[in-house]
Amino acid sequence: MMTVKTNKQRLWLGLIIVIGAIIMVFSLNGKRTEEQQKRDLETSIAKLLVSDYEGVETIKFQGWGHSRETGSWGTTVIINGENEIGFSFDGLSSLEEISSIVSDENIQLTESENAIENPRIRDRISRIQKTSLKGIDIIYSEDDKEK
């Protein structure tokens, strides 16, 4: 009788450990997915900046913030070491979720003709995604974290 009770306890303990491991794997996978979405969106933002401004040489992402109240995400980008632009997004999936762009009035960048003629980003996404980042020094927010 005692061995049956002990075996049931071991079975329950084993089941709890397996369920805990599964939950942990899924939560870690979700974290990786979020980090990958941020990296992909940073690449899209870099392409947007190269497409919209002339003379972009360096792009540095300052990290991400998230508002629990609104669900929006934000990041700040420094271009060529001195020009700061802030971006807000409704989600992390693509440039289509961009909600606002804020830049200093004294920004030292010249807008490209394409950006001036067609200011709506959503209308230019396919062209932006084809923009080459060759020769552009990009520091992604994840790469800049101290390890």
> Which of the 8 DSSP states describes residue 75?
E
- Looking at per-residue confidence, does 120 or 56 come out higher? 56
DSSP state of 73: E
pLDDT tens digit sequence for 82-123: 999 999 999 888 888 888 888 877 888 999 998 888 888 888
What residues make up the domain containing 97? 2-144
Q: What number of other Cβ atoms are within 10 A of residue 39's Cβ?
A: 16
The mean pLDDT of the chain is 86
The pLDDT tens digits for 127-146 are 999 999 999 999 999 865 54
Tell which residue, 95, 104, 98, has the closest CA to residue 130.
95
Judge contact between 108 and 82, C-beta under 8 A.
yes
In order, the DSSP letters of 82-136 are: TEEEEEEES-SS-GGGEEEEEE-TT---EEPHHHHH---GGGSHHHHHT---TT-
The rounded distance, in Å, linking the Cα atoms of 104 and 116 is 18
Total number of domains in the chain:
1
Confidence band for 39, pLDDT divided at 50, 70 and 90: very high
- Percentage of the chain lying above the pLDDT 70 cut: 87
Give dist(CA 112, CA 110) in Å, integer. 6
pLDDT at 55: 94
Per-residue confidence (pLDDT) for residue 107, from 0 to 100: 85
Look at the pTM and tell me if it is higher than 0.85: no
CA 16, 19, 23, 28 torsion: positive or negative?
positive
What span, in angstroms and rounded, lies between the C-alpha atoms of 128 and 122?
10
